[in-house]
Amino acid sequence: MVLKSSCRGEISPFIVMEMLQFANQRVAAGGDVLHLELGEPSAATPRLVMQRAHELLDQNLPGYTESLGIFPLRERIAAYYREHEGIAVPPGRIAVTTGSSGAFVLAFLAAFDVGDRVALAMPGYPAYRNILTALGVETVALAVGPGTRFQPTVEMLEQVEGHLDGLIIASPSNPTGTLLPYEEFRAIVDYCRGEGIRLISDEIYHGITFGTAAVSALSFSDEAVVINSFSKYFAMPGWRLGWMVVPEDLLRAVESLSQNLFISSPCLSQHAAMSVFDCIDELDANVATYARNRAILLDGLPDAGFDRLAPSDGAFYLYADVSELTNDSYDFCHRMLAETGVATTPGVDFDPVSGNCTIRLSFAAPVAAMEKAVHRLKDWKR
């Protein structure tokens, strides 16, 4: 007898993680790799966080915490909003999560039912689409491009046929790094409020911008679900810690779901993360390194044949149109890795429709890796 299996697992893979696997195989075979595929800070976890973690490990560390997180950490996050964004957020509306990934699962489960329709930008972070699909939620792709700086607009939403139950935005975005301008952000928030559309704002790259600061949806609304992470600006990716700012009407649902799905976020990570808010100078120095990496790529990539790039306002990505070089970005990235040791991510990860002609390059790695990557890609072009 054949045993039944769920169709939920029949979603697309997260291709960037597959590229990491292929890169690791190359290293295991004796080759070297320059990691421009991963959105993972190369900067070390701040020293004070590590010091606090060592102190905690020498103690009898508590086990489970409250499902919404330890209250002192929630208070520190609220203080961060007040001090750095001028926004008053009650600590009671903050839920600490197992990375932003856990936050997305909780947000989607709390806000949407099977059969609901949620709009998202394409190209966009693939996990939005894949998690929603696994949960039985219909995704509505908004085909964004250079004309709208790869961000959705009210006009796009107005042209969608049928009712929308939700909208996901990201500013800065992944894979393009673009920001939503203040007035356009406000217009989208107002439109969602008027149409009864639940807005989920992915703000995990806040703090990493180049010239213009990112704006939070909290500046416009208490009804949006805002998701952030300790993995990017705060340089704590392996600690698996994030947070949500939850509207009052979803707070109990998020708590109950968290209790049953996750119990709590890692205890050690929560206690240690409280120290990261005392490391702002160190974190801003990391952003200065990302800015230098960005400049190296922007200066060198055109000579390597990558001269059609999305505006990179923030995060640590460049999204390149490589249609003059290939119509198969998956094969292109694999050949690039095999022949140069430069690992990148094919655009089909972010856009299954048109991503065959795009790739994403991350500049989160050390400066030396950027310089070597540019040199190798110029030679590869020849």
Q: What is the pLDDT of residues 190-240, one digit of tens each?
A: 999 999 999 999 999 999 999 999 999 999 999 999 999 999 999 999 999
CATH of 10-39+280-381, one of 3.90.1200.10, 2.60.120.10, 3.40.640.10, 1.10.3720.10: 3.40.640.10
Q: Tell me, what's the pLDDT at 382?
A: 61
Spatial distance between the Cα atoms of 124 and 14, rounded to a whole number of angstroms: 12
Q: What is the pLDDT of residues 93-140, one digit of tens each?
A: 999 999 999 999 999 999 999 999 999 999 999 999 999 999 999 999
Q: Tell me, what's the pLDDT at 151?
A: 97
Q: What is the pLDDT of residues 30-61, one digit of tens each?
A: 999 999 999 999 999 999 999 999 999 988 77
**Ranges 16-20, 246-250, 278-282, 320-324: which has the least confidence:** 16-20
User: The tokens of 286 are what?
Assistant: 């990391």
Is a pLDDT exceeding 80 seen at residue 343?
Answer: yes
Spatial distance between the Cα atoms of 281 and 224, rounded to a whole number of angstroms: 30
Q: Tell me, what's the pLDDT at 4?
A: 84
Which pTM was predicted? 0.94
Spatial distance between the Cα atoms of 108 and 117, rounded to a whole number of angstroms: 11
- CA–chain centroid gap for 175, Å, is 9
Spatial distance between the Cα atoms of 178 and 211, rounded to a whole number of angstroms: 12
Q: How confident is the model at residue 159 (pLDDT cuts 50, 70, 90)?
A: very high
Q: Up-side HSE of residue 318: CA atoms within 13 Å toward CB?
A: 24
Q: Decide the pairing of beta strands 198-202 and 138-143.
A: unpaired
Q: What is the pLDDT of residues 283-340, one digit of tens each?
A: 999 999 999 999 999 999 999 999 999 989 999 999 999 999 999 999 999 999 999 9
As a dihedral over the C-alpha atoms of residue 156, residue 157, residue 163, residue 168, rounded to 10 degrees, the angle is: 120
Q: What is the CATH number of domain 47-278?
A: 3.40.640.10
Fold match, 10-39+280-381 / 47-278: yes
Parse the chain into domains and list their residue ranges.
10-39+280-381, 47-278
